[in-house]
């Protein structure tokens, strides 16, 4: 009996029998537990799998987010490239049209000035400038072919430019107001004292024949007096920059208001304009009265 | 005349191949049940090596139910297989075979018992379930696979009988 117990306990056959019994009993127990235990095991396995499932879900979300971000980045890069190309085209177009735009702006300004002067004004384009040279001037693209004559006044919206010095068949030359041989009848705006403008070059001019008794302030506006029969009265010439007492007269220096070095289009006054012109009476825009009930 | 037992390696090779076929024939349930019966009733039982036979039978049960994927609680077929293979192994040692006819008769009896045990254990484990026609197929084709397994385990040269 003792020998059999020893063999059962330690022999290979005994271990095999034990394994068989455990296998059979374990399976039987498992079978007898039935579906509810399976559900419990299912719940337990779900609970155990929940962290890994959450991790997998987060990983999938992160991957999707990365893919979306990469897609968005690609789209943004494509948009940026397209917008850069469009911007370059717009800039190129603006560069091409800039001269035309500037000319159009200038034309609009001239047109505005033309509306305020009730005279028959002509327009011309400056095609060349010889101002850096001694006694230089501005060359216009019109001449006798357009009926221009000498001593016609030339002005821009900022102020007077000068007068026509010589007129050829197709071109004209302007004598600028700051030329040493230029002379324009002017008057001071406050004191109404008159004088003659004599150019000093570089956009500056000297007013001569102003009495020492006159009170002139720096910054005072200087207008045309109309006495030279080139410009009518009241056109802006410039502003007083410096006033000094002389022996017999005041030495009044002014800065011309017209940018003589940057003029591209000018207006031409008619020859021998009247001394004084009245600004046109602009009729107000009268809107037609709406009838009640009409849309 | 007592027949010599087949070699252990040969029997394990047959069991492994049949188990693979059980897994691969999942789309054909009747064929799968027949192969399952062949493995559990004919190839796995071995007198004196109950543990290896039991493991093959348990594996066959789990593979069958695992490939079916029908039951809410698996394990019934494996338990029935384990029970039948232990019984068949005991019978092989207790009543050694002497011929093909006895082999077929033993297979028929064990087949009936196996069918009932499988359905009973599955009912215990998973509840009511459809029986299907696999059990009938395995019983009807028993002469075929019984003779085949007899030839596999006891080749004519070993038995001396044609």
Phi/psi of residue A270, nearest 5 degrees: -70, 155
Residue B63 lies in a domain: yes
Run of H or E residues at A82: helix A12-116
Question: Does residue A251 sit in helix, strand or coil?
Answer: strand
Measured between CA atoms, the residue of chain A closest to residue B76 is A31
- Residue A23 Cα, gap to closest chain B Cα (Å): 8
Task: Determine whether the interchain pair B79/A35 forms a contact, defined as Cβ–Cβ distance below 8 Å.
Answer: no
What per-residue confidence (pLDDT) applies to A70? 92
Residue B158: count other Cβ atoms within 10 Å of its Cβ.
13
Distance CA B36, CA B14 (A): 12
How many Å lie between the alpha carbon of B31 and the closest alpha carbon of chain A?
Answer: 25
For A28, the closest chain B residue by CA position comes to B79
User: How many angstroms separate the CA of residue A44 from the nearest CA in chain B?
Assistant: 14
Whether the pLDDT of residue B27 is over 90: the answer is no
Between chains, do A34 and B54 touch, taking CB under 8 Å as contact?
A: no
- Residue B131 lies in domain: 8-153
Contact at CB, B125 and A30, closer than 8 angstroms: yes
Say yes or no for a CB contact (<8 Å) between B73 and A35. Answer: yes
Domain count, chain B: 1
Q: Closest partner residue to A30 among B72, B75, B86, by Cβ?
A: B75
Mean pLDDT of chain A: 82
Q: List the beta bridge partners of residue A195.
A: A186
Cα separation values, A258 from A22, A94, A159, A265, B11, Å:
115, 27, 5, 12, 118
Tell me the two tokens of residue B78.
């494996």
How far is it between the farthest Cα atoms of chain A? 160
**A5-14, A54-63, A126-135: which has the highest mean pLDDT?**
A54-63
- Does residue B3 form part of some domain? no
Q: Are A31 and A25 in contact (CB under 8 A)?
A: no
Question: Is residue B140 domain-resident?
Answer: yes
Note the pLDDT of residue B14. 92
The pLDDT assigned to A281 comes to: 43
In this structure, what token pair is assigned to residue A260? Answer: 């003589």
* Residue B162 clears pLDDT 60, i.e. is over it: no
Interface test with B, best of A23, A35, A40, A41 (most B CBs within 10 A): A23
What three-state secondary structure class fits A214? coil
pLDDT at A99 over 50: yes
Residue A41 confidence class, pLDDT cut points 50, 70, 90: low
B136-145: average pLDDT? 93
From chain A, pick out residues whose CB is under 8 angstroms from the CB of B120.
none
Q: What is the mean pLDDT of chain B?
A: 87
pLDDT-above-70 percentage for chain A: 87
Question: Which percentage of chain B shows pLDDT scores above 70?
Answer: 93
Please write the tens of the pLDDT for every residue from B34-85. 999 999 999 998 877 889 999 999 999 999 988 877 777 888 999 999 999 9
pLDDT at B146 over 90: yes
Q: Is A141 or A283 the better-scoring residue by pLDDT?
A: A141
* Residue-level pLDDT at B110: 95
Q: Is residue B2 part of a domain?
A: no
> Which pLDDT score, from 0 to 100, does residue B109 have?
95
Cα(B79)–Cα(B117) distance, rounded to whole angstroms?
A: 9
Q: Which of A1-10, A21-30, A209-218, B71-80 has the lowest mean pLDDT?
A: A1-10
For the cut 80, the answer to whether the pLDDT of residue B152 exceeds it is yes
Q: Give the per-residue pLDDT at A294.
A: 47
CA dihedral B41, B43, B45, B47 (to 10 degrees): 140
pLDDT exceeds 70 at position A2:
no
- Residue A30: its chain B contacts at CB < 8 A? 75, 79, 125
Cβ pair B51:A16 closer than 8 A: yes
> What digits encode the pLDDT tens for the residues A179-207?
888 888 898 888 888 889 888 888 888 88
Write the DSSP symbol of residue A126: E
What is the pLDDT confidence band of residue B126, given thresholds at 50, 70 and 90?
Answer: confident
The pLDDT score that the predictor gives to residue A134 is 67
Residue of A nearest to B83 (CA): A24
Kind and range of the H or E element at A232? none
Residue A292 pLDDT > 60 = no
Inter-chain residue contact B125 with A20, CB threshold 8 Å: no
Q: Is the pLDDT assigned to residue B160 strictly greater than 60? A: no
Please answer yes or no on whether A24 and B86 come within 8 Å at the CB atom: yes
Q: What per-residue string of b and e applies to A238-251 under the rule 16 or more CB within 10 Å gives b?
A: bbbeebeeeeebbb
pLDDT of residue A247: 80
Q: Is B74 among the domain residues?
A: yes
Least confident of A2-6, A32-36, A102-106, A269-273: A2-6
Q: What is the pLDDT of residues B95-104, one digit of tens each?
A: 888 888 999 9
For chain B, report the end-to-end CA distance as a whole number of angstroms: 15
In a domain, B161, yes or no: no
Distance from CA of A77 to the nearest CA of B (A): 51
Q: Residue A87 pLDDT > 80, yes or no?
A: yes
The residues of A whose Cβ lies within 8 A of any Cβ of B are: 16-17, 19-20, 23-24, 27-28, 30-35, 37-39
**C-alpha span between A129 and A245 (Å, rounded):** 35
**Percent of chain A, pLDDT > 90?**
18
- Chain B's closest residue to A41, CA to CA, is B73
Q: How far is A39 from chain B (nearest CA, A)?
A: 8
Residue B159 forms part of a structural domain:
no
Task: Determine contact, residues B115/B108, Cβ cutoff 8 Å.
Answer: no
Residue B3 pLDDT level (bands cut at 50, 70, 90): low
Structural contact between residues A170 and A145, judged by C-beta atoms closer than 8 angstroms: yes
Q: Of B50, B124, B127, which has the smallest distance from its Cβ to A20's Cβ?
A: B50
Chain B residue with minimal CA distance to A31? B125
Q: How far is B89 from chain A (nearest CA, A)?
A: 12
Residue A280 has pLDDT above 90, yes or no: no
**Has residue B58 been placed in a domain?**
yes
Task: Give B83 to chain A, closest Cα distance, Å.
Answer: 7
pLDDT of residue A269: 87
State the best of B54, B79, B127 to mutate against chain A, taking most chain A CBs within 10 Å: B79
| pLDDT 10s digits, A120-166 | 888 888 888 887 776 778 888 888 888 888 888 898 888 889 988 88
Kindly report whether the global pTM for this prediction surpasses the value 0.80: no
Contact B75 A19 (CB under 8 A): no
On chain B, the residues whose CB falls within 8 A of the CB of A28 are 79
């Amino acid at each position: 009996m003792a020998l059999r117990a020893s063999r059962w306990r330690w022999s290979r056959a005994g271990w095999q029998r034990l394994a068989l019994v455990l296998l059979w009993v374990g399976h039987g127990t498992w079978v007898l537990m039935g579906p509810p235990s399976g559900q419990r095991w299912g719940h337990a396995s779900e609970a155990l799998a929940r962290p890994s499932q959450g991790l997998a879900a987060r990983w999938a979300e992160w991957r999707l987010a990365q893919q979306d971000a990469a897609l968005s980045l690609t789209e943004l890069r494509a948009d940026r490239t397209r917008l850069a190309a469009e911007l370059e085209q717009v800039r190129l177009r603006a560069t091409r049209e800039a001269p035309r735009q500037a000319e159009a702006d200038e034309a609009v300004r001239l047109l505005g000035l033309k509306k305020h002067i009730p005279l028959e004004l002509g327009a011309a384009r400056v095609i060349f400038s010889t101002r850096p040279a001694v006694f230089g001037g501005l060359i216009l693209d019109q001449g006798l072919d357009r009926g221009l004559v000498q001593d016609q006044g030339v002005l821009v919206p900022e102020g007077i430019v000068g007068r026509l010095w010589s007129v050829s068949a197709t071109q004209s030359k302007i004598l600028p107001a700051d030329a040493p041989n230029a002379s324009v009848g002017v008057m001071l705006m406050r004191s109404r004292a008159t004088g003659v403008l004599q150019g000093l070059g570089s956009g500056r001019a000297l007013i001569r024949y102003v009495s020492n008794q006159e009170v002139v302030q720096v910054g005072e506006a200087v207008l045309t007096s109309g006495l030279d029969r080139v410009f009518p009265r009241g056109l802006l010439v410039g502003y007083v920059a410096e006033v000094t007492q002389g022996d017999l007269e005041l030495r009044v220096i002014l800065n011309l208001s017209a940018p003589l070095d940057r003029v591209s289009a000018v207006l031409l006054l008619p020859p021998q304009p009247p001394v004084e012109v009245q600004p046109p009476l602009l009729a107000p825009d009268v809107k037609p009265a709406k009838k009640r009930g009409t849309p | 005349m007592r027949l010599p037992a087949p070699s252990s390696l040969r029997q394990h090779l047959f069991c492994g191949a049949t188990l693979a076929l059980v897994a691969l024939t999942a789309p054909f349930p009747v064929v799968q049940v027949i192969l399952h019966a062949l493995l559990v009733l004919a190839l796995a039982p071995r007198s004196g090596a109950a543990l290896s036979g039991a493991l093959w039978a348990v594996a066959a049960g789990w593979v069958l139910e695992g490939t079916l994927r029908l039951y809410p609680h698996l394990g019934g077929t494996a338990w029935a297989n384990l029970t039948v293979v232990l019984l068949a192994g005991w019978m092989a040692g207790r009543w050694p075979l002497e011929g093909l006819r006895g082999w077929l008769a033993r297979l028929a009896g064990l087949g009936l018992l196996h069918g009932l045990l499988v359905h009973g254990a599955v009912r215990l484990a998973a509840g009511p379930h459809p029986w299907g026609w696999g059990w009938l197929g395995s019983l009807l084709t028993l002469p075929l696979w019984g003779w085949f397994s007899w030839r596999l385990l006891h080749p004519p040269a070993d038995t001396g009988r044609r």
